[in-house]
Amino acid sequence: MNLISPILSDESILFRNDQIFTVLAVLGIIFAGIAVYLLIMERKVRKLEKIAKELRERNNEQRQGTKDQAKENREGK
Amino acid sequence: MRTKEILSLLYREFLLEWKQKYAFNGLLLYVVSMVFVLSLAFGGSIPPKTWNIIFWITMLFVAINAVAKSFMSENRGITLYLYSLASPFSIIVAKWIYNCLLMLAFGFITYILFLFFSPVETGNAGHYLLVVGLACPGFATALTLVSAIAASAENKATLLAILSFPLTIPLLLTAISAGRKAIENQPVSDSASLILFLLLFIVIIATVSFILFPFLWRE
Amino acid sequence: MKNARAQKYRWIYKVLALALIAFAIVAGFAIDRQQLTKDFGGESWRNIFFHVPMWYAMMVMFFYSCWQSMQFLNKGNLKSDGKAVNAAHAGILFGLLGLSTGILWARVTWVREIESGELQAWWAGDPKQNAALILVLIYLGYFLVRSSIAEPVRKAKVSAVLNVFGAAMIVPLLYIVPRVAAFSSHPGSGEEGILAALKSLDAGQRMIFYPSAAGFILLGIWLTELRSRIAEAGEKINDALANSTPS
């Protein structure tokens, strides 16, 4: 038995029934979903990186602060 | 080339096996059981194409079991000491040679056993044995490094099984295809490209294994 | 530093990725059906603008992953190993997507002419498809190995070795499987038709195909980069919290 897809004719069922718009709509929704997901991830990652940077700077300040204090103590003596 | 090192390591492998013999015998039992069950299931007479296929699938399982032991049955203390003396290159080469010889032996044994339990009328024995003789070392080559990788992990047995299947598929397909040509009595020249591939496979994968193994060994 | 300046313009390639894929979706359906489609199952040939680019993206990601593994083995920088893992994630994603689109496409277009006329299988035994599945299996094994070793340096080393070894295996696979599959008794595999279609793409179709491929590849790079940044930021935060002196 040789079953070949019924779409193998000159006419395109897809365009004839305007099913093309359904297909495009579905694809568009999937694409929009992926795009939204990626953009939200980008935003989260940027926030994460900002937090990381702030923590680091705070650490550096603290370290600087204790270093200065140690220096003062030594000079004070 | 540290031939002496390699030879002595190889000798050690044989010695270990000779003293305990349990790996070889275990594998032998495994092969006999498999061939027996398969021949029973098929009712004695197997069509040539199928014979070829189940032969190679049996070889696959034998290979995984045989080569698995090469790195995983090492008990830590003495082995580590010995291996700190030898270079990783010698270790992998010795294991590879040993596995190739082991696989060759079992290839031949499986072939005899299959013929014993379910003989096949057609087929060019010389041609078939040529394919067996090239594909079995191929299995050994492919799986030796996989065994080393799996030995460094936690759940070794499952890992070895899972890693082995995708990595031996090209070899398996080529062996089945070449074996099929042999069993259907086609001239050797027909399967020349496949046989060349088997040869190249061994050379390339062995080289890659020898290069990669030292990275694994730096413990 | 070069890094800082590059970071400012990072958004460009991401917008480009999304734009290219959107273009591929719209143009892929807008383009006129041509003589080609009669041989390849009607409208479903438009899949060529999506399925094959996804596989290109998968190959690029896996190649990059293997390259990073080699770099790690060479220099021992754990960052390379991180890049290798993330690229492998993206590669597997595209691989699975490519396989599913391939299955659906083959099911719609070609049927396996099985001699006894039974039900056709879902899996078209096509060489490229088989090779892609094996590649995905190898990389799943890669992740399995990584999850079974705890210590980070050993994990990186062993999985890097597997990565390179798998790649060395795949190269002969891609050349031998098509030749071996020719002996199979199932005629009319899909991909020869697809390759023929690819070669005979005319200019208009190429203009959609190549940008689509580029878009998917850029998308893969974006995904890899996101994972890397998350991992890096997490590490930095952990470091900072560990080193902070209690106030």
- Residue matched to tokens 């998308």: C219
Q: Do C74 and B211 contact (CB within 8 A), yes or no?
A: no
Query: For residues B140 and B107, is the Cβ–Cβ distance under 8 A?
Result: no
Chain-centre distance for alpha carbon C38: 29
Distance between CA atoms of B119 and B36, rounded to whole angstroms?
Answer: 12
pLDDT bracket for residue C115 (50, 70, 90): very low
Q: Domain range for residue B64?
A: 2-218
Strand, coil or helix: A1: coil
Positions of chain A with pLDDT lower than 70, given as ranges: 1-17, 77
Residue C117: domain span:
14-225
**Torsion angle in degrees (nearest 10) through CA of C88, C89, C94, C97:** 140
CB of C98 closer than 8 Å to CB of C55 = yes
- Tracing tokens 């698995």 back to the chain, one arrives at B68
CB B105 within 8 A of CB B130: no
Containing B119, the helix (H) or strand (E) segment is none
Instruction: With respect to residue C221, please indicate whether it lies within any of the assigned structural domains.
Output: yes
> Considering only CB atoms, which chain B residues are within 8 Å of C145?
149-150, 153, 159, 163
Å between C48 CA and nearest CA of chain B: 27
- Mean pLDDT over all residues of chain C? 78
Region of residue C121 (left: phi > 0; alpha: psi -120 to 50; beta: else):
beta
- The pLDDT-based confidence of B70 (bands split at 50, 70, 90) is confident
Structure confidence at residue B84 (pLDDT): 77
- pLDDT (tens digit, 9 = 90+) per residue, C54-104? 988 999 999 999 999 999 988 888 888 999 999 999 999 999 999 888 888
Tell the burial category of B107 from Cβ atoms under 10 Å away from its Cβ (0-12, 13-18, 19+): buried
CA distance linking residue B45 with residue B57, whole number of Å: 18
Number of domains in chain B: 1
Output the pLDDT for position A40: 92
Give me the pLDDT at residue B68, please: 79
Closest by Cβ to A41, choosing from C41, C226, C244: C226
Question: What CA–CA distance (Å, rounded) separates A48 from B147?
Answer: 41
In-domain check, residue C243: no
Residue C184 in this model has a pLDDT that exceeds 50: no
Q: Check residue C39 and give its pLDDT.
A: 54
**DSSP letter for each residue of B40-107:** HHHTS---HHHHHHHHHHHHHHHHHHHHHHHHHT--HHHHHHHHHHS-HHHHHHHHHHHHHHHHHHHH
B108's enclosing H/E stretch is helix B88-117
Does C196 map to a domain? Answer: yes
pLDDT confidence band for C178 (50 / 70 / 90): low
Residue C148 contacts residue C222 (beta carbons within 8 Å)? no
**Whether C134 and B166 lie within 8 Å, measured CB to CB:** yes
Q: Which chains border A (3 or more CB–CB pairs < 8 Å)? A: C
**pLDDT tens digits, C122-174:** 676 677 778 888 889 999 999 988 988 888 888 899 999 999 998 888 877 77
- Residue C198: the pLDDT is 64
Alpha-carbon distance of C157 to C159, in angstroms, equals 6
The count of structural domains within chain C is 1
Residue B151, min C-alpha distance to chain C (Å): 10
* Chain B touched by C165 (CB under 8 Å): yes
Q: Is the Cβ of B76 closer than 8 Å to some Cβ of chain C?
A: no
DSSP element (H, E) containing A34: helix A19-76
- Are B42 and B50 in contact by the 8 Å Cβ rule? The answer is yes
Distance CA C82, CA C72 (A): 9
Residue C114: band (very low, low, confident or very high) from pLDDT cuts 50, 70, 90: very low
Q: pTM for the full model?
A: 0.82
The residue ranking higher by pLDDT, C103 or B21, is C103
Residue from C7, C35, C112, C244 whose CB has the most chain A CBs within 10 Å, to mutate: C244
Mark yes or no for CB contact A12/C111 under 8 Å: no
Is C231 in CB contact (< 8 Å) with chain B?
Answer: no
**Which residues, in sequence order, are CB contacts of B140 under 8 Å at separation 6+?**
B63, B66, B67, B96, B99, B100, B102, B103
Q: What is the pLDDT of residues C214-244, one digit of tens each?
A: 999 999 999 999 999 888 888 888 888 887 7
What is the dihedral angle through the alpha carbons of C7, C9, C14, C15, rounded to the nearest 10 degrees?
Answer: 150
pLDDT more than 70, % of chain C: 71
pLDDT value of residue A1: 28
- Tell me if C49 is assigned to some domain: yes
Note the pLDDT of residue C91.
92
CA distance B213 to B217: 6
Say what angle helices C51-75 and C152-181 make with each other, to 10 degrees.
140
Local confidence band at B22 (pLDDT 50, 70, 90 cut-offs): confident
B92-131 pLDDT tens trace: 888 899 999 999 999 999 999 998 888 887 778 888 999 9
Distances from the Cα of C242 to the Cαs of A56, C235, C236, in angstroms? 11, 10, 10
Which residues of chain C does B192 touch, with a Cβ-Cβ cutoff of 8 Å? none
Flag whether pLDDT at C200 surpasses 80. Answer: no
Q: What's the pLDDT score for residue B61?
A: 92
